[in-house]
Amino acid sequence: MNKITAMRHWPTSNFISRNNMAGMPAINTRRDVTTQGPPPIPTPQLPIGEPTIHYAFNVPFASDLAGPDTEDILHATTDAVLRWTHPVEAPDDVPVHALHVHVMNLEGLRQLCHSITTNPLPIEAHVLSGTPKNARGLVTTVCLSGPADLVYQTREAILNKTPISLVRHIFLCNCAFSVSYFLDETSRFCGVDIFLLGPKLAPVVDGLNGDVELRRDQRWRVAIYGDNMSAEHAKTRVLIHIDQLLGRVADSINVDYSVQQILIGRNRKNIKLIESSTNTAIYFPPPFLSCYSYCPPGATRRGESDVFITGENTQAIEQAKYKIHEYLTRVRLYVKDVQITPAKLDSVLLTRMDKVRKIAENNNTHILPPSLGSMKNVARFQALENLPLERSVRELMALVGQFYTATWWISHPDNRQPMPTPNDIRTMLSDICANSEADVKFDNRCFTISGSDEAVKTALAVINDIKWVNQSPQSQIRVKIELANEHKEFVSGKKNGKINKIMGQSNVQIIFDTFGEYNFNIEVVTHSYEAVKHGLTLVEQEMPASISFHVPDQYHKRIIGIGGQHIQRIMKKHSVFVKFSNAMDRGGLTREDDDSRVDNVICRTPARNAQNLELVKSEILEMVSRADSEFMNQTVKIDRLYHRELLSRLPEIEEIEKMWNCKIVFPSTEQATDELTVSGPQWLVPKCIDSFLGMVPDKHEVVMERTPTLIRFLESPEFVQNIVPKLKTQYEVDVTVHENSEERAANGNPSVTLLWQFTRNNAGGVSDAMDFLQGEFATAGVEPVFIRGALSRPKPDTFEEALPYFDSKLLQHAPAPVATDSPTKPSFGEETARERSSLLERLRRPGSGMSSISSFLDRRKNSSHSATSFFKGSSNVSKSSLVSIESTRSFNADRNPWNDSGVNLADEDSGSPWPSAVLVGNGIGNNLAVPHHGDMTPRHAARRSDDSGRPSTSHSTNSGYPGPLVPFR
């Protein structure tokens, strides 16, 4: 996977951005103060007075989560329609947060805060809700006032008694039995709302070309709405019930929660082997279940140790249990506790759990953070080996580095400005919190802010706009950035040169504070907002931006060169540090096979030079064979119930993986998704998918009215002995004849069914096979009447499109296509007919009988003239047809990355935003010279880049790198 770390700019003051939230800053233990720069700023001594503090935080209601379309609902549980749909008389522009479920959640929070305020304890809780400028949806803020301990305990109670982060799970149900009663029972048991929805069109990828086609999936859809853990519980119960309706047996086993991820294995390798060998489906509890204690009223939580198993019989389930027990008896764990700031742990639990889950799965590590809002600072890590454990810790600590903490202490307020009252403070904190998404605490004229980097900088800008603050004669601002210890010298420079220069330019003091085994704090301290904004921007520009990607180990020596001369030249040219890691660095001979495709090249540079990262990557990949240069991921959709049958053929799948150097990853059983992921070199992934889809059967039914002529033709020796074998050999389609007495024509006549069976990679041949059969019908004098499943004939090959400016009666207009029910396309619409009508596409079909023109095209294809020059200026052929003509040559030809077709079009047709590059020779093949302004067109299509060094915040995109850092506006 390709990763890149992007640094952000400071926001302006008229923002409001939905980001993340956090809590309190870390406690520092040891300080390393630089020796140059402005004089040291003393640490403020807060006056001892009233112990009451004010604390504001956002409650992350998913107020933008909309319900299903009412016309798709087949069944809904009790009051689900009332909660998740607008009434009929509601206007069209009513916002989503006005749904009854969101209104009731907000009202429940108000009642909870009212009961907290009216209790005998000295604590007050106030709720403010609104839609700030540029914010998405409704923002709800709670402001607590009281002693610090009570405030933190109350915050924990609110977060664990409120249905935060509502989600929607949708999966397909191909069971035709009545499930309405069970859905109602599951809704009450788990505290969720469930809808049974009708089928809809779904995109399907077929064949080697990867054509995306829309088919109407005949399966029902089950949509579950509720908080994350309750929805996962209900989803598992519904999936198990579907298995039982299909004749499978269900049972359960208790497995300790701390070893479940170890049992599952990296990329579900261990559990996949158990499921394939026993033909069972194993359902694990959702990860981090113990971190969230919310449970809807009257509902039942799922047990942490409950693992459900469904199989064909009890013997298969017992065999799966035995294999699980046998594996767990051999487990020896490495355990490590790591201290993390409580506020940042809460921010991770609220906003980054998908990334934590990915870290745990990739390294096969159990990660146990403390419960939400508990203000505990210890997270536990467990793994089978020390290397993946340390890797998980470092990745999580890098994730924690996304969050900043800051303090703004007003040491001498303006006497002419009155001190704000408690009501003014609550309004002020709620406004800061709602506009910035950061948590804000106010105690003795000191603001303490925590949240993501963008949220903290936004909160500081909002505080600076407060008149009582910006008119104070003296104040102190501190911003803490957490970074890995290995980057300390990278940021400070030789003899603290970078830091000293920043302090001299921006009038700030920068302190390095070492407080832990993995991370350290960079404190930016100053007296003015403008100075801290400038100084923090300069510090962020010196922080590491990195990109990582995969290069097979056999190319490393070639890229490094003798004595490192090749890589040294690249590093000096672009001012980028490059590091390679081989198999021994990743764990030696005991590593798993999946490690052979991990990112093993890391490029790192200061954020101000981040634009050169992609240039370095492109230059390195120039020395790698095309088949190994660019790795990509592609999704393939296969019925989830058929995954079990595919897993039983695991040795065949492994042979396909070895043949095409790709990896086929099955989704977890709990996800209930049809999507599989195929990863590997971008030139081999389509071939791997084509081979894999050859293992997946598919079918299509064509129902016709039963007539004597049709029956005589279907029973004739010509059809049985010649036509059916020819359909199999030429089109890879098996055709069988069936009769269904229940299905009749509109006039009441009986019907006959042709069942077309094929594999998914040959689905595109069904339309050609149908054309061939219709031709045989015409030859035999049979006029079939289609009831359903017919494929329309493509319009005849005329020169109508080739001569659009001639109005001639000699050119007959093709009839409009009729509606069809196709397994590969919903209908041969205008776009499909336009593709079919191409002369060149027709000539490529076997048996066209136009050998002279075909040979002429073959000679033209092999000539030195390109397809674009041959057809330049005419509109009688599409670019997709040119792809078909040049398919045998484009695989080995250099591609234009701005042209998805794979054909090097002319500059004016390619749509490239970059100027044309000049071809130069440097002994490594035809490479593209790098333009002087820093942009380049790589030899291979650029691959998506993800974060690897300092992870991005929710404001950043996961692809590309930021543009050149610009001054503040």
What's the confidence (pLDDT) of residue 235? 95
In angstroms, rounded to a whole number, what is the distance separating the alpha carbons of residues 948 and 545? 8
In angstroms, rounded to a whole number, what is the distance separating the alpha carbons of residues 524 and 503? 9
For residue 741, CA distances in Å to 177, 466, 472, 713, 788 come to 22, 80, 89, 20, 15
Sheet of 334-339, strand order = 334-339, 378-383, 366-368
Sign of the alpha-carbon torsion through 951, 954, 957, 962: negative
Indicate the DSSP class of residue 518: S
Amino acid residing at 809: K
Helices 148-160 and 100-118, packing angle to 10 deg: 150
What's the confidence (pLDDT) of residue 935? 35
Contact 853, 242 (CB under 8 A): no
In angstroms, rounded to a whole number, what is the distance separating the alpha carbons of residues 823 and 711? 25
DSSP string spanning 370-389? PPTT----EEEEEESSHHHH
Element (H, E) at 637: strand 631-637
Count of Cβ atoms closer than 10 Å to residue 949 Cβ: 25
CA 693 to chain centre: 24
Indicate the DSSP class of residue 723: I
Element (H, E) at 907: helix 907-910
In angstroms, rounded to a whole number, what is the distance separating the alpha carbons of residues 857 and 887? 14
For residue 15, CA distances in Å to 127, 457, 460 come to 22, 11, 12
Find tokens 């067109």 and name the residue.
Answer: 937
* Secondary structure class of 132 (helix, strand, coil): coil
What's the confidence (pLDDT) of residue 209? 55
Domain limits, the chain: 629-679, 697-788
Count of Cβ atoms closer than 10 Å to residue 730 Cβ: 14
What's the confidence (pLDDT) of residue 314? 95
Q: With a cut of 50, which residues of the chain have pLDDT below it? A: 1-38, 41-50, 588-595, 794-800, 803-969
* Secondary structure class of 710 (helix, strand, coil): helix
* CATH code for the part of the protein at 697-788: 3.30.70
Contact 665, 679 (CB under 8 A): yes
In angstroms, rounded to a whole number, what is the distance separating the alpha carbons of residues 486 and 950? 12
From the DSSP assignment, how many helices (H) and strands (E) are in the chain? 35, 36
For residue 781, CA distances in Å to 751, 769, 777 come to 19, 18, 6
What's the confidence (pLDDT) of residue 444? 86
What's the confidence (pLDDT) of residue 484? 94
For residue 223, CA distances in Å to 77, 110, 267 come to 11, 29, 26
What's the CA dihedral at 309, 315, 316, 319 to 10 degrees?
90
Give the phi and the psi of residue 637 in degrees, each rounded to 5.
Answer: -100, 125
Count of Cβ atoms closer than 10 Å to residue 535 Cβ: 23
Contact 787, 703 (CB under 8 A): yes
The angle at the Cα of 413, spanning 407 to 417, to the nearest 5 degrees, equals 125
The angle at the Cα of 444, spanning 442 to 445, to the nearest 5 degrees, equals 70
What's the confidence (pLDDT) of residue 434? 92
